Amino acid sequence: MAPHFHLCFLFFIYTAAYHHRNCVQATSSAIKEACKATRFPKTCHVSLTKSGIVPTDPKPYQILLSTLSLSSKNLATAESMVQRILKDKHNADNHNLTTTAELCVESLRHSVYRLTSSKKALLTTGIEIKNVFDY
């Protein structure tokens, strides 16, 4: 009985691994296809693939939602970094650095608005992808 169990178990593992590999390839192909329409297709593809947030066998709007989520996450990281620059007492006397950082924060906040608006447009219009801003 044990040899049959081992054979069944190995078959199950092989089948699951094969299915997972095909799903990953399908997801990667969908991401690659979607990223062709961007200004930086390679960066887009690598970022989305490494993030792991794109669902298996995604629809175009799911790729867009994943992109918006990843961009929001990266935007929060960038804003945090700039805020640290502004709070650093050693930078207080550097007027150029302070002004640049303040302008950067303003630009990042505008980006937050655009990303939020894009996500709302995508969720409320469903498949009308043309309503998503080019961020």
Among 38, 36, 18, which Cα is nearest to 26's?
A: 18
What is the per-residue pLDDT for 19? 42
* Secondary structure in 3-state letters for 51-91: HCCCCCCCCHHHHHHHHHHHHHHHHHHHHHHHHHHHHCHHH
pLDDT tens readout for residues 77-133: 999 999 999 999 888 889 999 999 999 999 999 999 988 888 888 788 755 555 444
pLDDT tens readout for residues 27-39: 788 898 888 888 8
Query: How far is the C-alpha of 133 from the C-alpha of 88, rounded, in Å?
Result: 34
Q: Is 128 helix (H, G, I), strand (E, B) or coil?
A: coil
What is the per-residue pLDDT for 128? 52
Check residues 64 and 22 and name the one with the higher pLDDT: 64
Tokens at 133, concatenated: 């801003």
pLDDT tens readout for residues 54-85: 998 888 888 888 988 999 999 999 999 999 99
Query: How far is the C-alpha of 124 from the C-alpha of 29, rounded, in Å?
Result: 27
Per-residue pLDDT at 51 exceeds 80: yes
